[in-house]
């Protein structure tokens, strides 16, 4: 039975006691760049097969790779954002193996001297503590093409559009201890990559893929033998794969067996991992420095330039939101996960001459806007309510033009039509009534219609006050200023 | 007709510019000569129509007083250079029917300079060999015959043997070669022509079928040293498409050609006196030393202590790179495909049928030396020795301006010889491989005839990017040697 409540560490209960799961991740993140790592071919997703293939990508005889400096910059940016060492000299190696969608017969990768060394990712745990997950390294490498096995009864088709696209392989240390932590790590990493614009993090389109290393141990023991689960393409699958794999290993160990170090596949349909190849069958990749490429040398000035140009990163932004806007960790975290969301929220707060209450703005953004978007299955980018428009709505509440309750109706209208709040309030006559005489007239009518209840109230049945408020609001069409209704009712009933 | 063939590159260039001859007649003479010498099997593909069209275009430019440095000059291209729309085979069955959609940088440079393409020359398969006998298209033959045994065909050396045979047999004014461990210089020595391997990085490797990327270098094969200077000037230059291409500007290669060797220090490395070296090789070397001394050079005894490790180092590094470079010939996208019941079987069938024995041997050696558990003992150690060999040269060039050695340890051998003994075949490269490992420029210049009446070359090595010095010393040897011998087949042409 797996449990995780509060600060208790994640354990899987086996026949022989509790087991700890040790997880390390290799994330393959496709670099955002106009062209491929070593060729000028385009990288757009979803193009017709074999339309984005240069002579280099197809490994025609005599073709040579030339490094794309933009991809190098992207790797450096990522290294800096992961608080990692950026190596001024790194080396590209050839990883040799045969496959039909690997035209060169080798992948150009980095083996012993990667472009980025050790770094760290900070995770906020549910109990409010922060966990540091070590980054072992980040290296640049080429993606392979794609084999299509379902297009012909006996033949495979090859699409080389992806062949040669730049990937960053980001290798974590075995610092993760539960499926939830692993999910949080992937989300955080994705958030960082999106902030700095080096990877779109789209797991569905395969622009971010995970290899998951899983082992189990009794909590005090050293590391157990790990299995690598290849190419898991959603966070949910990663969690399922870890849980399944950990239980599988525990069962074997508790039955007196031992774990074979091997590469496994996750079968999403059956929710299980399957052996792909054992250590004995593992490829001998015959790595050696690519003689077509010189060692990659980085100018320290360029690294400094890229560092200076990095945007505010999620952790820093979160701290600032909590400090400057008085937001809770929860609110700040949900607002900063995506840079666009954080920017959107800040546009609301800083608009309107700085008069807007950041907490009210956060509530409206998180509860109302995110809620409505979620319900409609839309992204912020699809929202018909702009930051400026939401700010306008908040201003109308602030200056008493509408009540908070009416504001929810106005927001629903804004969300559906894209109109701004003031227009909707004007057109529908939703402006709050704050005229004493007007409200008094309504109250008088209510009291006149409910003289029996007035008498009861006056004889001590205080609870009826709410009834009079409700009736007054109803009769005013919800437009009466609730504060004034309260005050005036109290005065009249006191009679 | 024969008068046209007598002209070397410079003479033909001048005659064309002076409008004494036309490129059309010159090209036609060479195409006829190619037909007459078909027995040399020097060409895999003859591009007669293309040649005549290019010649006509050159004539039009020349008529207007325009044209590049090689305008209208018919040359041959080793079949390792990709040539747009023209069959490019690397003399391998695996590239069966392959016609590139692109032109190599070096050949592109030559056509821009106005040269006329006669065709693609025969070679050892994937440039792996020293005889041009491993070609899928059959062996290329040396125009020279031994004095005692004129019936026995000899090899033109390799791997650029087809280019060497074409130039020596006058079926091309000049040719391109490539040199990985001696593939320009050794055939030049065997056929009595000039062969220049430039510094690594001088000529772009873009569009040249790769053998061993850290060693491959294109260069000219010509009748004279000056012809080589003119050819290389057109071939070389920085190419952003080749990351290993040198940024150094190419100096004027003809400027100091006739400066002589007076006052130059010429190194003679003790380690090149190898065991079992034929006395006539020793003698031609001694003669070369004397020529340079007589011309005013100071002869300096030098030591290149790691020379004896060069050949084994080369035969680790080159096959290692080749095993990876040749992985792309897998039957999936171009060239030969031999179907199989699954992907692995298709690979095995294709590569088994497509690659000849020597290529397979080197792919296996290369795969072995890179494999887990052997990498450190072979590949890594070879890289370290390579660094030491480079250092040997660095130290030597602190004391001398150029180095003089024999080019090859023998004269041309019989077609079919050494084929059952790869190590004996590899020994052909013993004098040429060290400079290849160090990336240095080297040139073979015809120096004399062996007892069998066959040409012998001397090799001049220079500092990195010091091609002018190599050419200058080579020119001095050419002057002193006054090598005018011709293969018998050229008599009465």
| CATH value at residue A479 | 1.10.10.410
pTM of the full structure: 0.91
Tokens 């290899």 appear where? A211
| Contact list, B323 vs chain A (CB under 8 Å) | 96, 286
Round the average pLDDT of chain A to a whole number and report it: 92
Mean pLDDT, rounded, for A396-400: 85
Residue B219: in which H helix or E strand, if any? strand B217-222
A123 and A171, same domain (yes or no)? yes
Q: What is the DSSP letter of B375?
A: T
Do A42 and A143 have their domain in common? yes
**In a shared domain, residues A196 and A109:** yes
Q: A230 lies in a domain?
A: yes
Asked if residue A486 and residue A409 are part of one domain, the reply reads no
What are A350-381's pLDDT values in tens digits? 988 878 999 999 999 999 999 999 999 998 88
Is A66 in Cβ contact with B240 (below 8 Å)? yes
pLDDT at residue B474 tops 80: yes
Closest CB from A287, A288, A293 relative to B243: A293
Residues A403, A455, single domain; the answer is no
Active site residue B78: yes
Residue A212 in domain: yes
Residues A73, A180, single domain; the answer is yes
Residue A118 pLDDT greater than 90, yes or no: yes
Q: Which candidate in A56, A104, A288 is best for mutational testing of the B interface (most B CBs within 10 A)? A: A288
Whether A405 and A441 map to the same domain: the answer is no
Q: Are residues A446 and A424 in the same domain?
A: no
A478 & A406 share domain:
no
Distance between CA A386 and CA A419 in Å, rounded? 10
User: Of A258, A292, A307, which one is at a domain's C-terminal end?
Assistant: A307
CB B77 within 8 A of CB B176: yes
C-alpha span between A445 and A464 (Å, rounded): 16
Q: Which ranges constitute the DSSP H helices of B326-464?
A: 343-354, 357-370, 381-396, 422-426, 433-438
For residue A298, being part of any structural domain is answered with yes
Which of A479, A459, A456 has its CA nearest to residue A467?
Answer: A456
Asked if residue A253 is part of any domain, the answer here is: yes
Q: Does the pLDDT at position A409 exceed 70? A: yes
A151 and A6 co-located in one domain: yes
Query: Nearest CB to B208: which of A62, A287, A288?
Result: A62
User: Which of A218, A211, A274 lies closest to A23 in space, CA to CA?
Assistant: A211
Do B16 and B59 form a contact (C-beta atoms < 8 A)? no
Residues A205 and A89 in one domain: yes
User: Domain boundary residue among A409, A428, A447?
Assistant: A428
| Per-residue model confidence as pLDDT tens digits over A12-71 | 999 999 999 999 999 999 999 999 999 999 998 889 999 999 999 999 999 999 999 999
Q: Is B139 helix (H, G, I), strand (E, B) or coil?
A: coil
Whether the CB of A55 is below 8 Å from some CB of chain B: the reply is yes
Q: Determine contact: A62 vs chain B, CB below 8 A.
A: yes
Structural domain including A476 reads 436-494
Instruction: Give residue-wise pLDDT tens across range A119-171.
Output: 999 998 877 889 999 999 999 999 999 999 999 988 899 999 999 999 999 99
Q: Among A37, A38, A63, A64, which would you mutate to test the B interface (most chain B Cβ atoms within 10 Å of its Cβ)?
A: A64
Token pair listed for A265: 């596949």
pLDDT above 90 for A432: no
Asked if the structure places residue A331 within a domain, the reply is no
3-state SS record for chain A: CEECCCCCCCEEEECCEEEEEEEEEEEEEECCCCECCCCCCECCCCCCCCCCCCCCCCCCCCCCCCCCHHHHHHHHHHHHHCCCCECCEECCEEEECCCCCCCCCEEEECCCCCCECCEEEEEECCCCCEEEEEEEEEEEEECCCEEECCCCCCCCEEECCCCCCEEEEEEECCCECCHHHHHHHHHHHHHHHHHHCCCCCCCCCCCEEEEEEEEEECCCCCCCCCEEEEEECCHHHHHHHHHHHHHHHHHHHHCCCCCCCEEEEEECCCCEEEEEEECCCCCCCCCEECCCCCCEECCHHHHHHHHHCCCCCHHHHHHHHHHHHCCCHHHHHHHHCCHHHHHHHHHHHHCHHHCCCHHHHHHHHHHHHHHHHHHHCCCHHHCCCCHHHHHHHHHHHHCCCCCHHHHHHHHHHHHHHCCCHHHHHHHHCCCCECCHHHHHHHHHHHHHHCHHHHHHHHCCCHHHHHHHHHHHHHHCCCCECHHHHHHHHHHHHHC
Q: What is the pLDDT of residues A240-277, one digit of tens each?
A: 999 999 999 999 999 999 999 999 999 989 999 999 88
Please report, for residues A306, B9, B14, B231, the alpha-carbon distance to residue B4 in angstroms, rounded to integers and kept in the order given: 63, 11, 12, 19
Return the residue of B nearest to A282 by Cα.
Answer: B372
Domain count, chain A: 3
- Which domains does chain B possess? 2-262+401-490 (3.90.1300.10)
Q: Is A328 part of a structural domain of the chain?
A: no
List CB contacts (< 8 A) between A59 and chain B. 328, 333
- Domain termination site, one of A428, A451, A482: A428
- Per the CB < 8 Å rule, is A66 touching B209? no
Whether A332 is in a domain gets the answer no
Q: Which pLDDT value is given to residue A493? A: 86
Active site residue B120: no
Q: What are phi and psi of B465, to 5 degrees?
A: 65, 15
Please report the pLDDT score of residue A6 as a whole number: 53
Same-domain pairing of A422 and A441: no
Q: Does residue A322 lie in a domain region?
A: no
pLDDT tens, position by position, B82-140: 999 999 999 999 999 999 999 999 999 999 999 999 999 999 999 999 999 999 999 99
Q: What is the ipTM for the molecules in this complex?
A: 0.96
């Amino acid at each position: 039975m797996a449990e995780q409540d509060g600060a208790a560490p994640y354990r899987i209960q086996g026949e022989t006691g509790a087991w700890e799961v040790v997880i390390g991740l290799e994330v393959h993140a496709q670099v955002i760049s106009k062209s491929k790592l070593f060729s000028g071919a385009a990288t757009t997703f979803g193009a017709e097969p074999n339309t984005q293939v240069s002579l280099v990508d197809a490994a025609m005889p005599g073709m040579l790779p030339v490094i794309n400096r933009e991809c190098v910059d992207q790797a450096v940016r990522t290294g800096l954002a992961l608080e990692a060492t950026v190596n001024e000299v790194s080396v590209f190696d050839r990883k040799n193996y045969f496959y039909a969608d690997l035209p060169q017969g080798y992948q150009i990768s980095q083996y012993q001297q990667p472009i980025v060394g050790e770094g760290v990712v900070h995770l906020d745990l549910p109990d409010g503590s922060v966990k540091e997950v070590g980054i072992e390294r980040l290296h640049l490498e080429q993606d392979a093409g794609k084999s299509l096995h379902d297009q012909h009864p006996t033949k495979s088709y090859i699409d080389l559009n992806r062949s040669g696209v730049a990937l960053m392989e980001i290798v974590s240390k075995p610092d993760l201890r539960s499926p939830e932590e692993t999910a949080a790590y992937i989300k955080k990493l994705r958030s960082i990559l999106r902030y700095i614009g080096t990877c779109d993090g789209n797991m569905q389109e395969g622009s971010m893929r995970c290899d998951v290393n899983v082992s189990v141990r009794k909590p005090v023991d050293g590391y157990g033998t790990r299995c690598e689960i290849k190419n898991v393409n959603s966070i949910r699958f990663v969690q399922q794969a870890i849980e399944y794999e950990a239980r599988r290993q525990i069962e074997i160990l508790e039955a007196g067996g031992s774990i074979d170090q091997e590469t496994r596949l996750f079968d999403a349909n059956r929710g299980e991992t399957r052996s792909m190849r054992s250590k004995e069958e593992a490829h001998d990749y015959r790595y050696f420095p690519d003689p077509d490429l010189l060692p990659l040398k980085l100018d320290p000035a360029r690294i400094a330039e890229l560092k200076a140009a990095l945007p505010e990163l999620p952790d820093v932004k979160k701290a600032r939101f909590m400090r400057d806007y008085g937001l809770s960790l929860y609110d700040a975290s949900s607002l900063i996960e995506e840079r666009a969301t954080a920017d959107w929220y800040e546009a609301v707060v800083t608009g309107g001459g700085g008069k807007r209450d950041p907490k009210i703005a956060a509530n409206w953004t998180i509860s109302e806007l995110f809620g409505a978007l979620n319900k409609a299955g839309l992204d912020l980018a699809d929202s018909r309510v702009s930051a400026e428009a939401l700010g306008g709505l908040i201003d109308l509440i602030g200056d008493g033009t509408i009540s908070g309750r009416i504001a929810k109706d106005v927001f629903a209208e804004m969300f559906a039509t894209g109109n701004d709040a003031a227009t909707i309030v004007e057109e529908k006559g939703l402006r709050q009534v704050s005229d004493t005489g007007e409200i008094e007239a309504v109250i008088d009518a209510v009291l006149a219609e409910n003289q029996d209840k007035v008498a009861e109230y006056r004889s001590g049945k205080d609870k009826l006050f709410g009834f009079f408020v409700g009736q007054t609001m109803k009769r005013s069409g919800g437009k009466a200023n609730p504060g004034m209704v309260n005050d005036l009712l109290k005065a009249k009933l006191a009679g | 007709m024969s008068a046209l063939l007598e002209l070397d590159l410079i003479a033909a260039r001048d005659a064309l510019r002076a409008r004494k001859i036309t490129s059309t007649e010159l090209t036609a003479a060479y195409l006829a000569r190619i037909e007459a010498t078909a027995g040399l099997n020097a060409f895999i593909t003859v591009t007669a129509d293309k040649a005549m069209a290019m010649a006509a275009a050159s004539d039009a430019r020349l008529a207007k007083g325009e044209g590049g440095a090689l305008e209208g000059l018919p040359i041959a291209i080793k079949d390792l250079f990709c040539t747009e729309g023209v069959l490019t085979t690397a003399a391998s069955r695996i590239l069966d029917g392959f016609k590139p959609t692109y032109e190599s940088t070096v050949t592109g440079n030559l056509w821009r300079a106005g040269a006329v393409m006669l065709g693609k020359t025969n070679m050892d398969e994937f440039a792996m060999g020293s005889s041009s006998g491993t070609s899928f298209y059959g062996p290329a033959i040396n125009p020279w015959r031994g004095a005692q045994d004129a019936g026995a065909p000899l090899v033109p050396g390799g791997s650029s043997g087809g280019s060497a045979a074409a130039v020596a047999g006058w079926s091309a004014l000049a040719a391109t070669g490539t040199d990985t461990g001696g593939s320009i210089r050794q055939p030049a020595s065997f056929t009595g022509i000039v062969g220049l391997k430039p510094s690594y990085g001088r000529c772009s490797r873009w569009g040249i079928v790769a053998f061993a990327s850290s060693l491959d270098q294109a260069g000219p094969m010509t009748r004279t040293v000056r012809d080589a200077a003119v050819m290389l000037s057109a071939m070389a230059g920085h190419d952003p498409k080749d990351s290993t291409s040198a940024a150094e500007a190419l100096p004027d290669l003809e400027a100091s050609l006739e400066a002589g060797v007076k006052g130059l220090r010429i190194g003679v490395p003790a380690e090149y006196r190898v065991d079992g070296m034929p006395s006539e090789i020793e003698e031609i070397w001694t003669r070369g030393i004397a020529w340079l001394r007589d011309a005013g050079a100071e002869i300096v005894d030098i030591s290149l202590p790691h020379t004896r490790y060069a050949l084994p180092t080369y035969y680790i590094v080159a096959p290692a790179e080749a095993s990876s470079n040749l992985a792309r010939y897998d039957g999936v996208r171009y060239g030969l495909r031999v179907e199989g019941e699954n992907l692995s079987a298709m690979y095995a069938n294709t590569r088994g049928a497509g690659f000849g024995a020597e290529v397979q041997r080197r792919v296996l050696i290369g795969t072995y030396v890179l494999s887990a558990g052997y990498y450190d003992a072979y590949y890594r150690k070879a890289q370290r020795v390579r660094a030491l060999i480079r250092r040997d040269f660095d130290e030597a060039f602190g004391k001398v301006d150029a180095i003089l050695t024999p080019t090859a340890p023998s004269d041309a051998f019989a077609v079919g010889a050494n084929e059952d003994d790869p190590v004996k075949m590899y020994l052909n490269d013993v004098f040429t491989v060290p400079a290849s490992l160090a990336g240095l420029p080297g040139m073979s210049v015809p120096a004399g005839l062996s007892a069998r009446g066959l040409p012998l070359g001397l090799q001049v090595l220079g500092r990195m990017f010091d091609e002018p010095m190599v050419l200058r010393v080579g020119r001095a040897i050419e002057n002193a040697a006054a090598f005018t011998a011709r293969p018998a087949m050229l008599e009465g042409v």
